[in-house]
Amino acid sequence: MQELEYQANHDSLTGLPNRIQLHRRATEALRAIAGQPGCLSLMLLDLDRFKEVNDTLGHRTGDALLRLVAQRLQETVAAHQGVVARLGGDEFAMLLPRLPDAARALEIAGEIVRSLYRPTEVEGIFIELGGSIGVAVYPQHGGTSHALLRCADVAMYAAKENSSSVSLYDSSYDEHNPRRLAMITELGSAIRGDQLILHYQPRYHFGSARWCSCEALVRWQHPRLGFIPPGEFVQFAETSELIRPLTLWVARQAVQQMARWHADGLEVGVSINLSTRNLLDITLPDALAGLLSDVGMEPRFLELEITETALMNDPDRAMLVVNRLAELGMHLSVDDFGTGYSSLAYLKRLPLHALKIDRSFVRDMLHDEQDAIIVRSTVGLAHSLGLQVVAEGVEDAETLAGLHRFGCDEAQGYVLSKPLPAEQAGALMRLPPRSIEP
């Protein structure tokens, strides 16, 4: 009997309280705090990349990881007299029954996220853990455990959207919620239909003082919601099965556009962005090669931009895909370089063509000595590895000149050109980029 009751209230994998038990405990705690000073907090945690771990390393490793997460959460939360529950999948909830205020709740949420960041070894494999926490507090956000959990859920999605690790519920997030739902359900038809378009941002080559290439950036013109920036929907595509059709759609458009430019005598390359999940897709390289041969383009004109974070998510698997892409003759660059924590030893083993220095370093390099050092040493490092260096997010002429002095090979940014529709980008790249440096 006791056994049965335990099972009904606990999650069998981790031994943590389950959803039913969480609501019961939260309801008791709400009763206890009613009319008293202070607040109660319900938080929702969603792990980053768990699905990928599960898909690529298997359920056994996935289960082991969840148990380890459960243990870490419990250590941290118990220190604050709280309760951790597993709601299912990689979703965990935390109940902090008595806190002075919402600010304290956010501090604790931060502590919880940091406890996940410690290097994690599961069955001999190092996994980078991370997650997003949505925080709701009583009395501000609701009076029942269900209302609070819903707010925590909305806040958690807001945290994910803003790529922040912790977010406190705000009623304005609710307005974005229907938008989010519409996006998830309509993205598939947007890809098949004609709601997506590509803009192209030209890349300037210092050595030849010419435009050499351009980056294809996707935009979604939604019939009701209006313009939706890629940051908002690429992420949804990533978490669903839509990332492959999206990437192939972008690649097909970009490659066809490039073929038209070449036919008109404008010999520039294009680059497209790959997502984390694209690097787990062993069939992608050949599909891309097929698109190139359909239009008779040499593969070296197509460059694939891959973030450090995507590479490090599953380095061995990524290496298979990356090697195949290079074998087929396509160029590879590391995007947002400097923001992740890829190891040089790993990068050295990849058949890379270029590093794109993240705009956060480029932006302040003339005013921030640290950033200048990063930019300069990245150039040195890349060149010693035989790689080109592209600076992105260049917004003013002084920075552009500085990058040239530092020995940077290419630049991209608003000072040169914003991303433009194909026709305008083509027209711009036909013009010699005269006197763009001071």
The site for ligand C2E (CB under 6 A) is made up of: 201, 217-218, 229-231, 234, 250, 272-273, 275, 305, 335-336, 359, 393-395, 413-414, 419
Pairwise CA distance, residues 183 & 179, whole Å: 6
For residues 96 and 400, which CB has a smaller minimum distance to ligand C2E in the complex? 400
In the bound state with Ca ion, the residue whose beta carbon lies nearer, of 214 and 326, is: 214
The rounded distance, in Å, linking the Cα atoms of 177 and 160 is 13
Residue number, 82 or 202, with CB nearest to ligand C2E: 202
**Pairs from 96-99 (Cβ < 8 Å, separation ≥ 24):** 96/40, 96/41, 96/42, 96/43, 97/25, 97/29, 97/32, 97/33, 97/40, 98/29, 98/33, 98/38, 98/39, 98/40, 99/38, 99/39, 99/40, 99/41, 99/137
What are the angstrom distances between the C-alpha of 394 and each of 60, 114, 273? 46, 33, 19
CB of 350 to Ca ion, least distance (A): 17
Nearest distance in Å: CB 390, ligand C2E:
11
For residues 333 and 390, is the Cβ–Cβ distance under 8 A?
Answer: yes
Least Å from the CB of residue 238 to ligand C2E: 8
CB closer to Ca ion out of 90 and 305: 305
Alpha carbon separation from 147 to 19, 41, 100, 156, 277 (Å, rounded): 14, 12, 20, 14, 34
Q: Give 303 or 305: the residue with its C-beta nearer to ligand C2E.
A: 305
Q: Which is nearer to ligand C2E, 76 or 309 (CB)?
A: 309
Specify the residue, 151 or 196, whose C-beta has the smaller distance to ligand C2E: 196
Minimum gap (Å) between residue 113 Cβ and ligand C2E = 23
CB 395, min distance to ligand C2E, A = 4
CA distance 76 to 82: 9
Q: Does residue 52 contact residue 276 with C-beta atoms inside 8 Å?
A: yes
CB of 382 to Ca ion, least distance (A): 15
**How far is Cα 185 from Cα 112, in angstroms, rounded to an integer?**
32
Work out how close the CB of 261 gets to ligand C2E at its nearest, in angstroms, rounded to a whole number.
18
Name the site residues for Ca ion (rule: CB under 5 A): 273, 305, 335-336
Query: Which one of ligand C2E, Ca ion, none interacts with residue 97, CB within 5 to 8 A by kind?
Result: none
d(CA 354, CA 370): 22
| Whether 105 contacts 148, CB under 8 Å | no
